[in-house]
Amino acid sequence: MTITYLGHSCFKIESKGFSIILDPYQDGKVPGYKPLRETADQVLCSHGHGDHCGTENVTLREGVESPFTVETIHTWHDDQQGALRGEDTIHILDDGECRVAHLGDLGCDLDPEQKDRLRGLTALLIPVGGYYTIDAAQASALADELAPAVVIPMHYRGAGFGYDVIGPLENFTALRSDVIAYPGSTLKVTPETAGQTAVLKPKNLG
């Protein structure tokens, strides 16, 4: 399975010739990012905010059989059961060899049953910036508890990109002892991939 970080909370997941875009952003919705233009076989959005639901920017193909099963977990975008920012949907993609979970804009604690469904992951795509989502400390603690092989941070601020109110990537990586910073945007994972916190370069930076 191949994971490509397009930027903010947007990823392309590919396996056996089939690709899924997760949480594409709309034009102009995320500071510092170029307009998103992608082709894929499926698109999934965690919620309806403009930085996560730009489905119009993904051209869908037809005719390729999906190797993925897709499981969802209903959560909240805040710690008040959606009163502030609404709902959030976690997507778990399984191609029969690897399982990857994208947490969307998770802003609340998960209950024990939800955590059980997120164990045994090959990769966990997790927001770390705080303010709109769980923060760096909460994300690190959750990653430790779920114990995926690979942890990939998303939804953070960097030099010249991201929302001013969210925290920088360094707030999260400072809490991790297994950080590998990759020079590119893509990581290939297998069931044998070594444990790590993988920092991928956002592909779509302006």
Write the pLDDT tens digit of every residue in 128-147. 999 999 999 999 999 999 99
| pLDDT reading at 84 higher than 90 | no
User: 188 pLDDT exceeds 90?
Assistant: yes
Q: What angle do CA 85, 139, 46 make, to 5 degrees?
A: 40
Question: In terms of CATH, what superfamily is 2-199?
Answer: Ribonuclease Z/Hydroxyacylglutathione hydrolase-like (3.60.15.10)
Output the DSSP codes for 159-180.
Answer: TTBS-TTSPBHHHHHTT-SSEE
**pLDDT confidence band for 206 (50 / 70 / 90):** confident
pLDDT confidence band for 197 (50 / 70 / 90) = very high
Q: What percent of the chain has pLDDT over 90?
A: 95
Residue 78 has pLDDT above 90, yes or no: no
With tokens 């056996």, the residue in question is 16
Separation CA 136–CA 143 (nearest Å): 10
- Per residue in 38-56, pLDDT (tens digit) is 999 999 999 999 999 999 9
Which region holds residue 17: left if phi is over 0, alpha if psi is between -120 and 50, else beta?
left
Going by pLDDT thresholds of 50, 70 and 90, the confidence category of residue 82 is confident
Distance, C-alpha 124 to centroid of its chain: 7
- Which residue in 148, 191, 194, 187 sits closest to 6, CA to CA? 187
Residue boundaries of the structural domains of the chain: 2-199
Pairing of strands 58-60, 99-102: unpaired
